[in-house]
């Protein structure tokens, strides 16, 4: 049995291994009803996914924006964004461009460290998609320098690794505002990462007040390997901050995070709550505009 709602998935438009069409085909086979395509710093997969979805699957244009926070990875999801919004696309393009220069520098650092992978191969692996560290890691695996993606991150390209390079990123607040301006609903992605049974929590006491005033509307409470205790704690936090509890599989495809579309238990009503909140916000904005006139 699969969940009928999955609000966090990646495609070849970033570091996923399935094309948008192939992802939608899996989702259709699994009888999902709502699927958000949330590629890193890109909505380039959305149109293909929309055409493939037909009428039985509600396909949400989405995005996952990586942000700049010292010492940790804060990702902001945007659901139901207007992916045709021109300023939004200009910013996403800028973010993707900074990924290119950065990946190139990482390859050169790796070369200095004796890891002889080529930039041409990394580009080939990334294809037309937003280039990311998993593409660099894939090239390292192909050449036998590491056996797995986690090993590549641990030994070389993780935040504290010797080949890590920074890039231009938005603050989490600006990522939230970017999504709001593009008509979408912003949610904090994976507030806790569970790896080998170990929980790494973001500093929510610091983040949530800042993000809430920027317009944060959701928080991922249903995610890979979340225990009942984690879910309970996150749902409480969601209630305290009046955030919609969202969730998804963060499907990337084979070899990476290995859970498939619909394989994280997300309650059906989550999609309704997101839609409702978006409508509430839109009518609030209209009222505010009317009183300004």
Residues in contact with ligand AMP by CB under 6 A are: 15, 40, 66, 132-134, 149-150, 153, 252, 256
Which residue lies nearer to ligand AMP by CB, 149 or 202? 149
Mask 131-170, x = binds Fe ion (CB under 5 A)?
A: ----------------------------------------
Which residue lies nearer to Zn ion by CB, 15 or 48? 15
Tell me which residue has its CB nearest to Fe ion. Answer: 75
What is the distance between the terminal CA atoms of the chain, rounded to a whole angstrom?
52
Minimum distance between the CB of residue 83 and Fe ion, rounded to whole angstroms? 17
Using the rule CB under 5 A, is 250 a contact of Fe ion? yes
Among 30, 75, 83, 277, binds Fe ion (CB under 5 A): 75
By DSSP bridging, strand 185-188 and strand 72-79 are antiparallel
277 binds, among Zn ion, ligand AMP, Fe ion, none (CB under 5 to 8 A by kind): none
Stretch of 23-31, 85-93, 175-183, 247-255 contacting Fe ion, by CB under 5 A: 247-255
Minimum distance between the CB of residue 10 and ligand AMP, rounded to whole angstroms? 7
Which residue lies nearer to ligand AMP by CB, 50 or 193? 193
In whole angstroms, what is the distance from residue 256 CA to residue 17 CA? 9
In whole angstroms, what is the distance from residue 196 CA to residue 150 CA? 11
Minimum distance between the CB of residue 289 and Fe ion, rounded to whole angstroms? 33
Using the rule CB under 5 A, is 15 a contact of Zn ion? yes
In whole angstroms, what is the distance from residue 186 CA to residue 174 CA? 11
Residues that bind Fe ion (rule: CB under 5 A) add up to a total of: 4
Which residue lies nearer to Zn ion by CB, 100 or 113? 100
Minimum distance between the CB of residue 197 and ligand AMP, rounded to whole angstroms? 15
Minimum distance between the CB of residue 8 and Zn ion, rounded to whole angstroms? 10
**Three-state helix/strand/coil letters over the chain:** CCCCEEEEECCCCCCCCCCHHHHHHHHHHCCCCEEEEEEECCCCCHHHHHHHHCCCCEEEEEEEEEEEECCEEEEEEEECCCCCCHHHHHHHHHHHHHHHHHHHHHHHHHHHCCCCCCHHHHHHHHCCCCCCHHHHHHHHHHCCCCCCHHHHHHHHHCCCCCCCCCCCCECHHHHHHHHHHCCCEEEECCCEEEECCEEEECCHHHHHHHHHHHCCCEEEEECCCCCHHHHHHHHHHHHHCCCEEEECCCECCCCCCCCCCCCCCCCCHHHHHHHHHHHHHHHHHHHHHHHHC
150 binds, among ligand AMP, Fe ion, Zn ion, none (CB under 5 to 8 A by kind): ligand AMP
In whole angstroms, what is the distance from residue 13 CA to residue 83 CA? 14
Which residue lies nearer to Zn ion by CB, 38 or 246? 38
Minimum distance between the CB of residue 189 and Zn ion, rounded to whole angstroms? 10
- Region 182-211 residues binding Fe ion, contact defined as CB under 5 A: 189
Which residue lies nearer to ligand AMP by CB, 99 or 277? 99
**Residues making contact with Fe ion (CB under 5 A):** 64, 75, 189, 250
**Residues making contact with Zn ion (CB under 5 A):** 15
């Amino acid at each position: 049995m699969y969940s009928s709602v999955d609000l966090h998935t990646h495609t070849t438009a970033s570091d996923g291994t399935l094309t948008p069409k192939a992802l939608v085909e899996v989702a259709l086979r699994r009888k999902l009803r709502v699927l958000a395509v949330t590629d890193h710093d890109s909505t380039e997969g959305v149109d293909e996914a929309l055409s493939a979805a037909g009428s039985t699957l509600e396909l949400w244009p989405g995005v996952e924006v990586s942000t700049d926070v010292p010492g940790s990875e804060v990702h902001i999801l945007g659901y139901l964004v207007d992916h045709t919004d021109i300023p939004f696309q200009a910013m996403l393009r800028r973010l993707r461009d900074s990924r290119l220069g950065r990946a190139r520098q990482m390859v050169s650092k790796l070369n200095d460290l004796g890891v002889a992978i080529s930039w041409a191969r990394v580009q080939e692996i990334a294809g037309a998609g937003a280039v990311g560290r998993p593409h660099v890691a894939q090239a390292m695996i192909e050449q036998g320098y590491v056996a797995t993606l986690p090993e590549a991150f641990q030994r070389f390209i993780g935040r504290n690794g010797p080949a890590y390079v920074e890039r231009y990123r938005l603050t989490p607040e600006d990522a939230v505002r970017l999504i709001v301006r593009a008509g979408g609903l912003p949610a904090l992605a994976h507030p806790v990462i569970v790896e080998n049974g170990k929980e790494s929590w973001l500093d929510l006491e610091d983040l949530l007040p800042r993000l809430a005033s920027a317009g944060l509307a959701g928080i991922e409470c249903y995610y890979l390997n979340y225990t009942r205790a984690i879910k309970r704690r996150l749902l409480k936090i969601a209630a305290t901050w009046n955030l919609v509890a969202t969730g998804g599989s963060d499907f990337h495809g084979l070899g990476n995070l290995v859970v498939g579309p619909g394989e994280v238990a997300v309650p059906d009503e989550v999609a309704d709550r997101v839609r409702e909140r978006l409508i509430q916000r839109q009518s609030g904005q209209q009222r505010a505009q009317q009183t300004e006139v």
